[in-house]
Structure 1
């Protein structure tokens, strides 16, 4: 799926289409496999791109893979295998950060950081080829904290020390698979968030429908983190602040909704109610009534079933 790219992506894809189709046709156990380019023509966001690709879904599962991710051997078979269990609605891959990393030194500005004190700097390609540094985990699925923040489980953990359980709250939309019947039952992925939190919203809907989500360690992806979007940009900050409130109001426990709202207001106040975060929070608060109506409608359709 091409979301209205402004470069030569479509021409490059078209040039490689015969090769891609030949590879798909040679895949063992897959009869009639094909490769199709979907030109959305406009960038309406991540969810809209996914829905464009899934608009004529006839296969048993839908696999999502970001354009800044590269799969390793055996990825597809491993990712699809657990979907044979009818209670497993989706699987999520082991996403590793591309390249190798070392701990940052004092004063180094370009570094990745997480919940712990360690900051990481990516090594050069030559250093990585020499086997220096370490491989870091990007995601083993999605988790949500008590303030409604959706985040990658095991972010920046050492890949060599990873001990992640198969059970996880949600998928990471960058590399995951969803059963077609589960996809249809929950109505696919939402398109109104533009980007970020769509996978969290979908994970909530899968749980509400009675499905579980499984982390598959053997399905490995290398991800160029933030290659498609700048995690420090004003848009990232605004959209994240907005969508966290919307998704929490629609799905999370009331204590989480209250905590998300309170923390958002405090954050906006600290920034003088100016800037991208405050703008996003204002948009999120304005959208809460609609989110609550959607929450009530979904609960009513399921006969008052408990929302997890």
Structure 2
């Protein structure tokens, strides 16, 4: 069990209390991303890996993956509080389905509405939460999921450089390319204080989302999908100064999109090298045809 926190003083206690009440025994590692708000004192009684700087959710998960020696590893947001049977339900689901390498939870918002029961892949290569799904889904929501440790490591682990967002969809995509499946486990319920650690809709939120989606596509998608999507992003960005109908949203700000393009181009050599190293027991085209737009 890995819980990544950053300035989680106001919400991590509820998470830890819920984990203490789990029916399944587990080892818990808390990754503290250099919190400076008193979080360190609240978690001091637990096994803590304190990073010297904030490496984000993806970086925090990646930092301790080598420490995990159990067959399964759970990812859990520090602002999520699972039901007592949460871990048991996820473990039972993977025990009963050898072809699945990851199991995603029913993530509920604090008002009881559903935030996610899995992740779908859109026809233009975005990941989106789904609130109604069958047993199998394209990907898992990284805020509350269980993965097979060996399969995760064999697929390349966690993309630490993503910092935050799309690390789960990228990981699920690589697991599918390696021939594995992802399942949704309805009874594995978690209450989530969405946005307690990050601010959805903020400039940083959109920067990470736009950048990481493009990096994910360049790593995982068929070239005939990844390259046009990158080009489309670049063309829309270039035309923004000449448009009169620019949407009033952070992800249409010229400065943000220019920075995203610069970051993707800077990482392009490493990203293409990573693409070559991804294990592909199933072709990229097959995964795209089976799941994009569903």
TM-score normalised by length of structure 1: 0.73
Counterpart CA distance in 2 for 1:152 and 1:263 is: 23
The answer as to whether partners of 2:104 and 2:145 remain within 8 angstroms in 1 is yes
2:102 matches 1:90: yes
Structure 1 residue 97 displacement after superposition: 1.2
Counterpart CA distance in 2 for 1:11 and 1:296 is: 43
The answer as to whether partners of 2:176 and 2:282 remain within 8 angstroms in 1 is no
CA, structure 1 residues 51+191, in 2 after alignment: closer, same or farther (shift >3 Å)?
A: same
The answer as to whether partners of 1:238 and 1:278 remain within 8 angstroms in 2 is no
> Pairwise mapping of residues 38-187 of structure 1 onto structure 2 (< 5 A)?
38-84=49-95, 85-99=97-111, 135-154=112-131, 163-187=132-156
CA, structure 1 residues 70+209, in 2 after alignment: closer, same or farther (shift >3 Å)?
A: same
Structure 1 residue 194 displacement after superposition: 1.1
- Structure-1 residue corresponding to 2:229: 260
Counterpart CA distance in 2 for 1:256 and 1:145 is: 12
Residue deviations 1:6-37 (CA, integer Å, cap 9, x gap): 111110112xx3xxxxxxxxxxxxxxxxx522
Indicate which of 141, 151, 162 corresponds to 1:193.
162
RMSD of Structure 2 on Structure 1 (CA)? 2.0
Residue deviations 1:52-85 (CA, integer Å, cap 9, x gap): 3333112120001001111113111011112113
Structure 1 residue 212 displacement after superposition: 0.4
2:257 matches 1:277: yes
Counterpart CA distance in 1 for 2:65 and 2:269 is: 29
The answer as to whether partners of 2:179 and 2:282 remain within 8 angstroms in 1 is no
- Structure-1 residue corresponding to 2:200: 231
The secondary structure found in structure 1 opposite 2:50 is: coil
Counterpart CA distance in 1 for 2:282 and 2:42 is: 48
- Structure-2 residue corresponding to 1:107: none
Structure 1 residue 220 displacement after superposition: 0.6
- Structure-2 residue corresponding to 1:21: none
Counterpart CA distance in 1 for 2:282 and 2:152 is: 19
Structure 1 residue 140 displacement after superposition: 1.1
Larger Rg: 1
User: Which segments of 5 or more consecutive residues in structure 2 lack a partner in the other structure?
Assistant: 1-30, 242-252, 288-294
CA, structure 1 residues 198+95, in 2 after alignment: closer, same or farther (shift >3 Å)?
A: same
CA, structure 1 residues 297+63, in 2 after alignment: closer, same or farther (shift >3 Å)?
A: closer
Counterpart CA distance in 2 for 1:222 and 1:202 is: 23
Structure 1 residue 153 displacement after superposition: 1.6
2:37 matches 1:7: yes
Residue deviations 1:144-167 (CA, integer Å, cap 9, x gap): 21222122122xxxxxxxx42110
Residue deviations 1:218-239 (CA, integer Å, cap 9, x gap): 0011111111111122111112
Residue deviations 1:91-149 (CA, integer Å, cap 9, x gap): 000111112xxxxxxxxxxxxxxxxxxxxxxxxxxxxxxxxxxx321111112212221
TM-score normalised by length of structure 2: 0.76
